[in-house]
Structure 1
Amino acid sequence: MKKRMSVVLSMALVMGIMGQCAIAVNAASKTDDDTLNITLINQGSGQPYIAAYKNCFEKAEKDLNIKVNLVDGGWDANQQANAIQNAISSGADGIVISPVDPSAVCTYVDEALDAGIEVCALTTQIGTGDAEDPVYPETVGLVGHIETEVGRTAMDIAAEALDRSGKIAIIEGTPGMSDTEGRKKGIDEENKEYPDIEVVSRVCGEWVVDKAYTAMQNIIQSNPEVELVICHSDNMAVGAAKALEDADMTDKVKIVGIGGSKDALDLIKKGEIYGTIMYVPETEAYTALEATAKVVRGEAEKETFYNVQDLPLFAETGDVCTQENVDKFTAEW
């Protein structure tokens, strides 16, 4: 598998530089003795990945001397806007947000910044900047992935599984979402490196198990020659695996997922999913809270992209999980 070039500094390197470089401290910056109030606004409830954010709160509050106020975004841009305005009026020191609509949130993020509140994006970028430069101006930064790189990696895993030749299908996320479009672009770009791999089917799975189950059924009925399916998320990979099991085709079609879920890792151990790319929501949320607290205290620079794929957590293993190394990973959701 080709080694991807890192486009940002690893978290370890960032922290090393922070320790060596003088960083200007605003006179209003708070000290380590001050407990900071940080509001974390998620996209909404009902998704295990998002629910895992809160698993870091107790540790973050103790380690960083902060108080975390979790607000449900309700899968609604207006509700997130109201949450930002409430955080401003309550005098929050920082806001961590995973936007439902990256564009719609910008006006309200600007209001928070104008009020002197530091803002950090979590998982999903603020604004519609280039995927290769996803940090919104004047914010703490973004803790997340470059989704085009994730797509490229998924295709590399598929190529490895097929020995660089074969027919594949793709079960995609909801059209128009930044994660969907980024992963799709990356997969298609990397596919050009493997001329003997042909994409014969694309079906939307809407990120959920049952929709992916139906999508996989449709794929094997219309394209029985398919040898592998790339799923834009592990939830969909689990649904695809179930459909193949019910069709007695587990040994005939390989699956590549994205997400690193507990269910996916269990199926990798059983040989029902070939591999996945690890996402770590608890670690991501902690990193966002830590970065925000450091900026508020004048201990870190703004506009930093914390690429999850480059975090020290993956320094020895990388972020690709297959049956060969699955025992080295711990799922966070």
Structure 2
Amino acid sequence: MKKSFSEHLFSLAALSAALYATSALAVEFKPSDHLIVIITPSHSNAFYKAESDTAQAAAKKLGYRTNALVHQDDPDIQLRLVQTAIGDNASAIILDNAGSDSSIAAVKRAKEAGIPTFLIDREVNANGIATAQIVSNNSQCATSVAEFFAEQVGFKGEYVELTGRTSDVNAHVRSEGFHRVLDQIPDMKMVAQQSANWDQTQGYNVMQSIIQANPNIVGVLAGNDTMALGAAAALKNAGNDKVIVVGIDGNPDVVRQIAGAGPIAATGLQQATKMAAMAMEQADQYLRTGKTDKPEKQSVDCVLVSKNNSHQVREGGFGMQ
């Protein structure tokens, strides 16, 4: 029977599809043809260095080329680095961003250039521009730290809170988590709350001023371990190392203090290495298949580290054995 014109068209379309599929299968995916750009805050903070090192190691193990860059928590530098990544034909960007609002433009720029961005540690206040936002469960983290802190000080006394960078949504979420617990305890009173911008030197300087005005404090909650280290040093120099200090991150120097004589008693260990590894695993899947099969927003619980389990923290911190 003679085929109609439409049947001929259908046969040709089917043949073209089969040839295209065969051709696509014949093209082998080569990770070495792809560049993964990893952008974080300064590596002088061990947390960010652990993120970058883990992502680089995972990428190189899979065969990708990498470029690790630092934005110094400056949105303008971050935007320039993203533009550089675009110019270098990066296949994916792994980013611990420089601010939840101020980073939106940079992530959008990458998306417009067809480059998927995998955010770790810090989210942005926008949906649909990043391929993934893999962040610590900061609320759970802060709540668990605050509960431990309250127990250690006997559920009473004056305390101090050092908060992180005001432009960082994580700083606000952690502070809210602290107060969700402590504001319910009538015999506990916050006598000072001040930002030290996630910085150890600022944590030291701020704490020095606070000690002079508040000699009777029983404890300090720091929004991250870097500030906790600064606060602990200031307390020690003032001869006041019996004050309980807690932080959040999983910094190896803090873990050593927890395992030893203190005064830092606990940290909410953010699993930086796990988040970075997850980002690289999902970037690899996306580049190979065009999807990750994961939701954009992903939350990773923290682990409360005290003297009892400090030996289980991996060497270098920021992960459990």
Counterpart contact for 2:225–2:250, Cα < 8 Å: yes
Show the counterpart of 2:182: 191
Name which structure has the greater RCO, CA cutoff 8 Å, separation 6+.
Answer: 1
Q: Which residue, 150, 161, 167 being the options, matches 1:159?
A: 150
Structure 1 runs not aligned, ≥5 long: 1-26, 130-135, 310-317
Where do residues 277-288 of structure 1 align in structure 2 (5 Å cutoff)? 277-288=268-279
Q: In the alignment, which residue of structure 1 is the partner of 2:311?
A: 327
Residue 98 of structure 1, aligned match among 96, 99, 103: 96
Asked whether the 8 Å contact 1:207–1:236 carries over to 2, the reply is: yes
Kept in 2: contact 1:31–1:297 (CA 8 A): no
Report the RMSD for the aligned CA atoms in angstroms: 2.7
From the superposition, tell whether residues 109 and 216 of structure 1 become closer, same or farther in structure 2 (CA, over 3 Å). Answer: closer
Q: TM-score by structure 1 length?
A: 0.77
Residue from 54, 57, 62 that aligns with 1:56: 54
- Shift, 1:297, TM fit: 1.8
Q: Secondary structure at the match of 1:159?
A: helix
2:207 is paired with a residue whose SS is helix
Does the 8 Å contact 1:141/1:303 carry over to 2? Answer: yes
- Quick check: 1:305 aligned with 2:303? no
- Match of residue 178 from structure 1: 169
Q: Work out the CA distance in 2 between the residues paired with 1:111 and 1:211.
A: 33
Aligned equivalent of 2:244: 254
In structure 2, do the counterparts of structure 1 residues 265 and 89 end up closer, same or farther at CA, with 3 Å as the change threshold?
Answer: same
Contact 1:56 1:286 in 2 (8 A): yes
Q: Letter of the aligned partner of 1:308 in structure 2?
A: V
TM-score of the superposition, structure 2-length normalised?
Answer: 0.80
In structure 2, runs of 5+ residues without a counterpart are: 1-22
**Aligned residues with identical type, % of pairs:** 22
Instruction: State how many pairs are aligned.
Output: 291
Q: CA deviation at 1:332?
A: 2.9
Change (3 A) 1:138 1:172: closer
**Alpha-carbon separation, structure 1, partners of 2:54 and 2:220:** 33
Which deviates the most, 48-57 or 258-267?
A: 48-57
Q: Aligned letter for 2:303?
A: D
1:33 deviates by 4.3
| CA distances 1:89-138 after superposition (whole Å, capped 9, x unpaired) | 33222111222133233234223223332111121112x25xxxxxx315
- Once the two structures are TM-superposed, the CA of residue 58 in structure 1 deviates from its matched residue by 5.3
| Corresponding residue for residue 3 of structure 1 | none
Deviations 1:279-307 (A, max 9, x none): 24333322212221212222622543332
Using a 3 Å threshold, how does the CA distance of structure 1 residues 89 and 174 change in structure 2: closer, same or farther?
A: closer
Q: How many angstroms does 1:263 deviate by? A: 1.1
The separation in 1 between residues aligned to 2:194 and 2:56, in whole angstroms, is 40
Report the CA distance between 1:185 and its aligned residue: 1.9
Q: In structure 2, do the counterparts of structure 1 residues 60 and 217 end up closer, same or farther at CA, with 3 Å as the change threshold?
A: same
Query: What is the alpha-carbon distance in structure 2 between the residues aligned to residue 212 and residue 74 of structure 1?
Result: 18
CA contact (8 A) 2:107 2:129 kept: no
